[in-house]
Structure 1
């Protein structure tokens, strides 16, 4: 395989925007727009933890960028630039790199973000991709986790559980569904919705670790709780089919993670405006519950009985 600088020149220079200075310097030159605040997020994905070792290279790149875009979306930010840290083990070849770069380009083209710099290194074991993404919002309009209010409606975008069920398909733990596998490998960041929620939502988070876990972050930051109705959780047809085959996987809908949807709260009076914003963004949103003065997240079934959850979401280092 080519050396570090040859790899950068061949695969990553074509992805760079003007801020990256052709990737010829050891730094980028960013110029914030007047009246805008910069929003910075960082996520890292590691082979064997966040993706399977034999996943297609383009899907690894796409997912690495998409999970960062999802964080920006939940903040109401427009994506601008990103920095790529890439650590590669022996055995990675030019075919893999070309596919990886194509996955980045696809995610860039869909979102408008551009590469501004980064670093490449060798690795003794797994592929590791670390991305720092930068977006901007009008000053004072960043969506945060700590703004929820008692009585607010809880909403979630899209459908839940598809990514986690897609992983189960690849692991042979349920029937294979191409739709679910695609949702696992190529998650959709809800950028268009996020920007439309700036003046509507009171709090927001992206669903990466699981609905209950990420809603829990909102409730913790806002010093409140939430009551969620299990029957209102939105499911795709593919997820419904998978659960008919493997009903024991049902907890993945609210705790599996890898959804990269937006969970947010809003005043109940904003329901019509939120529906209109969702329609403009081209994604469904579903009201799934309500914020409460009582701390904690309570998931109830159709009879109103509490659903006992073994876990709310994924946690690294959990034993």
Structure 2
């Protein structure tokens, strides 16, 4: 039985998606557009990401986790700009496996995260595809006028930081594909990070107030620091020994025969959804106070320097990467 036999487009919108709509701006999803009132003194910040079955999530992943990942990877982008999220536009390309129960599960995931992050559905589209399921989301946020943090503000001498831990996204995929061995609790934690990463949304005000440049870590730490370096016209130097690991990541790392090669995998694997950023050296103490107050782990990886590209060192020696992160063809 096809998805069309069990749930048509308008039934899906009316019964499942309309209850998620903003009570005023979304117009109940019965119109062709959403209408947003202007917010004096603020800039509208927009970001868009798509996820595809077999590329960004596994065919066996429950659709509630797929929906939550879709929303969260976009909220990660907004957080790295210092923006406050408020709504999103959604496009669903349902595959043949997406019958009514699967669509209900998808919406359950959105509903839970709308409540957790204070955002509303504003509009979008749904279609059926003979190919793999795919979903696209455009997230919208507010930032005080002229204060949205870009990738382009780092200066030589600025310390380079990252929130949270690195490598759990890549390790989570390995866990779900039975490619690593750890105790069940740690395997579960890694799998959860791959399926439902937790972006540091509450850290956005600190980024806005103190960061000179920032971006979220999605393609891989080395690749994304390279993007920041290129936009800012600086080089970035980091020490791989400083890369922060979670408890599960550290447990996996402790068993590696070649620690340098293991760290290279963690910093190029992607799917971390943390924030990499620079601050002025004079603001480092303030940054650490704010991070501690908000219970956010921040780690100094290195610094921005005159030059170009990313230079990573391990045991004092420069490391050359075969690949710096995930790229789409």
TM-score range, shorter chain: over 0.9
Alpha-carbon distance in structure 1 between the residues aligned to 2:37 and 2:13: 24
**Partner-residue secondary structure (3-state), 2:125:** strand
Task: Say whether residues 1:15 and 2:27 are aligned partners.
Answer: no
Task: Say whether residues 1:192 and 2:195 are aligned partners.
Answer: no
Among 22, 46, 53, the residue aligned to 1:47: 53
| Residue 171 of structure 1, CA deviation | 1.2
Comparing 245-254 with 196-205, which one deviates more in the overlay? 245-254
| Residue 110 of structure 1, CA deviation | 1.5
The two structures have a TM-score, normalised by structure 1, of: 0.96
The 4+ residue runs of structure 1 with deviation greater than 6 A are: none
Runs of at least 5 residues in structure 1 that lack an aligned partner in the other structure: none
Verify the 8 A CA contact 1:197 1:277 in the aligned structure 2. Answer: no
The match for 2:3 is none
| Residue 244 of structure 1, CA deviation | 3.3
RMSD of aligned Cα (Å): 1.2
**1:256-278 C-alpha deviation (Å, 9 max, x unpaired):** 10000000000111111111221
**1:48-92 C-alpha deviation (Å, 9 max, x unpaired):** 011101101111000000010000001100001100000011231
Among 221, 226, 229, the residue aligned to 2:239: 229
Alpha-carbon distance in structure 2 between the residues aligned to 1:106 and 1:278: 26
**Partner-residue secondary structure (3-state), 2:219:** coil
The match for 1:308 is 320
| Residue 281 of structure 1, CA deviation | 2.9
| Residue 280 of structure 1, CA deviation | 3.2
| Residue 109 of structure 1, CA deviation | 1.3
The match for 2:7 is 2
The match for 1:123 is 129
Verify the 8 A CA contact 1:174 1:245 in the aligned structure 2. Answer: no
The match for 1:286 is 299
Alpha-carbon distance in structure 1 between the residues aligned to 2:256 and 2:105: 34
**Partner-residue secondary structure (3-state), 2:37:** coil
**1:187-226 C-alpha deviation (Å, 9 max, x unpaired):** 1121111222212110000000001111111100111111
Verify the 8 A CA contact 2:240 2:263 in the aligned structure 1. Answer: no
| 1:136-285 matches, cutoff 5 A | 136-175=142-181, 177-245=187-255, 249-285=262-298
The two structures have a TM-score, normalised by structure 2, of: 0.93
Verify the 8 A CA contact 1:165 1:252 in the aligned structure 2. Answer: no
Among 85, 88, 92, the residue aligned to 2:94: 88
Alpha-carbon distance in structure 2 between the residues aligned to 1:242 and 1:96: 34
Among 36, 46, 54, the residue aligned to 2:42: 36
Alpha-carbon distance in structure 1 between the residues aligned to 2:313 and 2:180: 26
Equivalenced residues, count: 316
| 1:78-117 matches, cutoff 5 A | 78-117=84-123
| Residue 122 of structure 1, CA deviation | 0.4
Verify the 8 A CA contact 2:233 2:307 in the aligned structure 1. Answer: no
